[in-house]
Chain A
Amino acid sequence: MSAPKITELQPGTEAVLVAIEGDRQLVERLGEIGFVQGETIVFHRRLVFNGPLILEVRGVPVALRAEEACCLQVRVTRT
């Protein structure tokens, strides 16, 4: 079974990135911002109307759409 995607989890979860899979450009950009394997991320909240997710990586909150966040496969460390 593959690791859960961050979008399948509840806000407030803290997790470690285990894999990032998706469109090449997107994965590259996510990496440049700090979303790489082994990184701890915090899922702060989901914006209204199923809007972007607010994820914190390396101390910075980043807004990204669910379509992008789908790339992020994680292992939950704290709920």
Chain B
Amino acid sequence: MNFLVNDSSCHSNPKSTDNTAAHDFVALVGSPNCGKTTLFNRLTGMSASVVNYPGATVDYMVAPLNKAWGTGLKIVDTPGTYSLFPKSPEELVAVKVLFETPHLGIPRAVICVADCTQLSRHLFLLRQLKEAGFPVILALTMGDLAEKEGFKIDPVRLSEALGVPVVPVDGRSGKGIPELLTTAEQLGGTTIPKPLTTWTFEKQWKELQTIASVSSLVRLTVPRTDAESPRQLTRRVDRVVLHPIFGILFFGLIMGGLFSSVFWLASPIMEIISVGFDEAARWVTGFAPDSLWADLAGNGLVVSLGAVMVFTPQIFILFVVISLLEDSGYLARAASLVDKPLSKIGLNGRSFVPLLSGFACAIPAMMAARTIPSRKERFLTLLIIPLMSCSARLPVFALLLGFLFWGKPAWQPGLALAGLYFLSLLFGAIVAALLRKRLKIEEKSFFILELPVYRRPNWRAVLKSSHQKTLNYVLEAGPVIFTLAVLLWAATTFPKYDAPTPAEKLEQSFAAKAGRFIDPLMEPLGGDWRTGVALISAFAAREVFVSALAVVFRVPEEDENSASLLGRMQQAQAKDGTPLFTVASIWGLIIFFMIALQCMATVAVARREFGNWKFPLAQLVGFNVLAYALAAGVVQTLKAIGIN
């Protein structure tokens, strides 16, 4: 069985006393972007995200060796680190795995992965590992890339020079893996490695001189196959991509393409999933129309499952596109390009990828923020990630914009939606700029990012890793959304579960009581208890707002789609007989959804990533109060100037 272990759980693993497991694992370590994760995937058959962006692995992963290679060994993959002196949370994970894994024991061997073309830098970590007392093997990757550059590495001489076994491997084809494993089998850590304490600048300098001379000693020139080496090609592409004018244009083009492709590709699939689950719910309740159990199974369980699954196409597609960009090497350039503007609001170029992922889902986005070394910048990034317009907001915006642009050509709501995305980004920037002064963390910020050579993305790996990330979303957010959705079902069903009509059942329900309780609060938003119920329901998952509105406005079961819901909404009347939904109140709801933090799964992940409750709670209360205040302000202003 494959499983993902995250940092926070590694100290509380119940298997920690299993001593027989000691010596049965091999750890993979290496500098960022050295080909470590590709090798891990080849060894285990797992599909961790393999990308051409420094800092792709932010958690450590454990998986058994693929049966094709043998049995008995477990492989641990660690986040890339330049040295045993961590400078960011992900690097800390790597060092912790090596020194503090009581439940794993002492590694049988540590495989230090180094890129042939980067030997004079990547051997640095190997020297530290050896000095700390680990049984080390050097795995040389990217031999093909080196040959394209016109050289190759002599493993025998390298092994003699370093005093450790050296095995050239090819993570993509699997070449060299049997030799690597045989070598690992023969090693066996007996002494307990000790963290390095006596590492000085002078020593660092000497080490770098040593590895530079070793690297040039083992380098053999070979005839180049291509006219242009990958490095030359990279330089040529960078002249355009990093150009002051063309670079910015290219960046805009890529981002525009990214978001439009997500909408065009995902919306039809989301429609199918949503209709499919509605059908399934009807089919399940149809078995016993009046029984509470069939209602729970259909309208509770199946609908809740649908609420979780409906976002998966968008998340998957967004991750595919992001992975393609990462894998090609472009994202490192994009992060460098936006470092300056982001630093103006207290963020870092490395905040770019987490914020971008936030448009899919805040959960993986928050995990991606671990690559930001400075705590202050990481916290600011984590704080504004929930403001990025995630895919759960899309169905809500689609409904509300559908109301505003009723009967207008389709490009108008489309443009308005793009505007909302931009507005959410702008709002996030304002919040970050305001909070940076308030956040009392004095920590030096730095931005140092390697720009990898451009590579053709590996489609198979991209699809597999996107699948894995989407699965992570389902596993992380799923249970929370699911539980809350079932609770919502209960709140809208009880106590009058045997009422003759659904409408009566709802009006007597706990949810309606709660809705009426907050009725005065809904007044400034231009809503009443019914909007209140739907808003409370949205705390299960934002898109539940749409189905909750459908329930409270008693859309007949036969045509419970948003078109007829829109019709109902237009007919809905407030207490005084005026229309309930007006331009003003719809804008109020849009603003509310743009800012409010309604996703409890995000709060749970934020708790883990911040490492305390203070920030996630401040985020939860702050964004919701702000959302309410701004929404009320917008509604009242619009009313005052006569837009209704």
A residues at B contact (CB < 8 Å)? 23, 25-34, 36-38, 44-45, 47-52, 54, 58-65, 67-68
Contact = CB atoms under 8 A, between A and B. Distances in A.
A52 B349 contact: yes
Contacts of A45: 242
Contacts of B124: 32
A59 B341 contact: no
Contacts of B223: none
Select the residue from A27, A28, A44, A68 with max chain B CB neighbours within 10 A: A28
B205 A31 contact: yes
Interface stretch (B71-79, B445-453, B491-499, B531-539): B445-453
A50 B359 CA distance: 28
B205 to A, nearest CB: 5
Interface stretch (B80-88, B160-168, B418-426, B511-519): B80-88
A50 B340 contact: yes
Nearest to A51: B340
Contacts of A34: 120-121, 208
Contacts of A28: 83, 85, 87, 201, 204
B343 interface: yes
B444 A26 contact: yes
A17 to B, nearest CB: 11
B201 A62 contact: no
A63 B204 contact: no
22 contacts: A27-B201, A29-B82, A31-B201, A31-B208, A32-B124, A32-B204, A33-B450, A36-B205, A36-B208, A37-B205, A47-B244, A47-B336, A48-B337, A54-B451, A59-B120, A60-B121, A60-B450, A63-B332, A63-B447, A64-B446, A64-B449, A65-B446
Nearest to B85: A28
Given A29-B82, A32-B124, A62 B87 contact: no
Given A31-B201, A31-B204, A61 B446 contact: no
B82 A32 contact: yes
Contact of A52 (B120, B121, B238, B447): B447
A23 B448 contact: no
Contacts, number: 113
B431 interface: no
Contacts of A54: 238, 242, 336, 451
Contacts of B337: 47-48, 51
A68 B447 CA distance: 8
A63 B342 CA distance: 15
A47 B247 CA distance: 9
- Name the 9 nearest CB pairs between A and B, nearest first: A63-B336, A51-B340, A32-B82, A48-B244, A61-B451, A64-B448, A49-B340, A63-B449, A34-B121
Contacts of B340: 47-52
B435 interface: no
B121 to A, nearest CB: 5
Contacts of A62: 448-451
Contacts of B343: 65
Interface string B334-368: 01110111010000010000000000000000000
B205 A29 contact: no
B270 interface: no
Contacts of A60: 118, 121, 450-451
A48 B248 contact: yes
A27 B204 CA distance: 11
Interface of B: 82-83, 85, 87, 117-118, 120-121, 124, 201, 204-205, 208-209, 212, 231, 234-235, 238, 242, 244, 247-248, 332, 335-337, 339-341, 343, 349, 444, 446-451
A29 B54 CA distance: 14
Contacts of B205: 31, 36-37
Interface centre among A31, A45, A61 (most CB of B within 10 A): A61
A30 B449 CA distance: 11
Contact of A23 (B212, B349, B444): B444
A51 B444 contact: no
A77 B208 CA distance: 21
A68 B339 CA distance: 13
Given A49-B340, A52-B447, A60-B121, 9 more contacts: A28-B87, A32-B124, A34-B121, A38-B209, A47-B336, A47-B340, A58-B212, A62-B450, A64-B448
Contacts of B336: 47, 51-52, 54, 63
Contact of A47 (B87, B234, B242, B448): B242
Most buried by B among A38, A45, A60, A67: A60
A57 B636 CA distance: 59
Nearest to B212: A58
A70 B9 CA distance: 40
B339 A51 contact: yes
A61 B451 CA distance: 6
A49 B341 contact: yes
Given A33-B121, A34-B120, A68 B448 contact: yes
Contact of A64 (B83, B117, B231, B447): B447
Nearest to A32: B82
A15 B250 CA distance: 31
A50 B242 CA distance: 13
Contacts of A48: 244, 247-248, 337, 340
Contacts of B85: 28
Contacts of B451: 54, 60-63
Given A28-B85, A32-B82, A68-B448, A61 B204 contact: no
Nearest to B342: A51
A52 B155 CA distance: 37
Contacts of B349: 52, 63
A29 B118 contact: no
B231 A52 contact: no
Which has the most chain B C-beta neighbours within 10 Å: A27, A45, A54, A58? A58
Given A33-B121, A34-B208, A60-B121, A65 B82 contact: no
A56 B351 CA distance: 23
A26 B447 contact: no
A33 B448 contact: yes
Nearest to B199: A28
B333 to A, nearest CB: 8
B448 A29 contact: yes
Contacts of A51: 336-337, 339-340
